[in-house]
Amino acid sequence: MTTTTNDPNATISIENVSKHYRDQTALDGLSLKVPEGAVFGLLGENGAGKTTTLSILLGLIRADGGAVRVLGLDPERDGLAIRRRVGYVPEQPALYDWMTVAEAGWFAAGFHPEPVTGTGAYQIRYAELTQGFGLPPNRKIKALSKGMRAKVSLSLALASAPRLLILDEPTSGLDTMVRREFLESMVDLAANGQTVLLSSHQIAEVERVASHVALLHQGKLILSEPLDDLRAHTFSLAVNFQSRDHDPAPPSGLAMELIDAADAPRQARWLVRARDRAACEAVRALPGVESLQIESPSLEDVYIGYMRGRRPEPTSRVGSAHVA
Ligand code: ATP
């Protein structure tokens, strides 16, 4: 639809995209916008459709239907142009083991014939980046640790000074220090106006660096919004009741949407969306409520709440409810 694909502020727009692999639905009517300059965290469980989404954006696979624009280009028509302009760090970087760190940069420079910031800019930037990461230029790729390989892959992606960087699980298998370093460099990029789309399972890490988050579940979008908005409107309520006989969920008259609920004999935990904390205070006045604590959940709590709210409940769990 033209409203999304023509949005001048969206570096990426995805409109009603579906993808099936034989009888397996990977994406089911996905619509998503990644604004310019965002560090955008794409979250979802195994098989949610994250890699499929990234592959469609890069023109590596075709969607069954819908409209996609990346930097104003259509991946089905202009896949090669997109792959030249976008820095892509795949989950498992494909590097030639027999090359040295320096040779990998020289080789990749051949795929970036149009100098972005001047003649030889790619190799110069690559050398600066690898040096900054402390990578020995003459060491063979096969002799690098996993973290060092990830840094080579990131250096290769960044050396073309791309307006858009796409990373698929970039920190999986890296140690804490390297992960932090890696992700902090994403924030630096965004500060320079570059856009970063990052797929990850590491929710706490995403929370530290992302400006926007999207949750995918079974190929469908559950939410997509600036992290600050999510924080401002999501609350965890611990409601203590006077008796065991109480509402398992907020009554429909309250100005809040229930994401997930867990019940104990005289207590309920409700994860809700509401305009603000004051709107949650209304719970205090419900019949039978003894006390109420309102907390700000972590992104992980929100993620788990949304996921649990959408999963069939194990029969052993009592009294859980949700609003879809
Ligand atoms: P993970 O976090 O485990 O990497 P993901 O969110 O990246 O998962 P996808 O790899 O996009 O998920 O997979 C989405 C769905 O499509 C899954 O059910 C997966 O089994 C299926 N799928 C992905 N690639 C193929 C393929 N080449 N052939 C058949 N089914 C596929």
Measured in Å, residue 51 CA sits from the centre of ligand 1 at: 7
Q: Rounded to the nearest 10 degrees, how much is the dihedral formed by the CA atoms of 281, 282, 288, 291?
A: 0
| Cα separation, 138 vs 115, whole angstroms | 24
Q: For position 4, what pLDDT does the model report?
A: 42
CB of residue 50 inside a 6 A radius of ligand 1: yes
Cβ-contact 165, 89 below 8 angstroms? yes
Helix axes 146-158, 121-132, angle to 10 degrees: 150
CB of residue 200 inside a 6 A radius of ligand 1: no
- Stated as kind and residue range, the H or E segment containing 105 is helix 101-109
92 against 139, higher pLDDT: 139
The minimum-distance atom of ligand 1 relative to the CA of 22 is 29
309 against 132, higher pLDDT: 132
Which has the minimum average pLDDT: 55-59, 78-82, 129-133? 129-133
Q: How does the average pLDDT of the chain come out, rounded?
A: 85
What does pTM read for this prediction? 0.86
Residue with tokens 């990461």: 133
Q: 115 falls in which pLDDT band (50, 70, 90)?
A: low
- State whether residue 322 is helix, strand or coil: coil
203 against 226, higher pLDDT: 226
The yes-or-no verdict on residue 53 having pLDDT over 90 is: yes
- State whether residue 29 is helix, strand or coil: strand
The yes-or-no verdict on residue 55 having pLDDT over 80 is: yes
- Residue with the nearest Cα to atom 15 of ligand 1? 26
How many residues make up the chain in this entry?
324
What pLDDT, in 10s, does the model give residues 236-252? 999 998 887 777 777 77
Q: For position 311, what pLDDT does the model report?
A: 55
Cβ-contact 151, 145 below 8 angstroms? no
- Residue with the nearest Cα to atom 10 of ligand 1? 51
The yes-or-no verdict on residue 296 having pLDDT over 90 is: yes
| DSSP string of 225-288, one letter each residue | EEHHHHHHHEEEEEEEESSS---SS--TTSSEEEEEEEEETTEEEEEEEESSHHHHGGGGGSTT
Could you tell me where the beta strands, DSSP code E, fall in the chain? 10-21, 24-35, 39-44, 65-70, 86-89, 164-168, 195-200, 212-217, 220-226, 234-241, 256-264, 267-274, 289-295
Q: 138 falls in which pLDDT band (50, 70, 90)?
A: very high
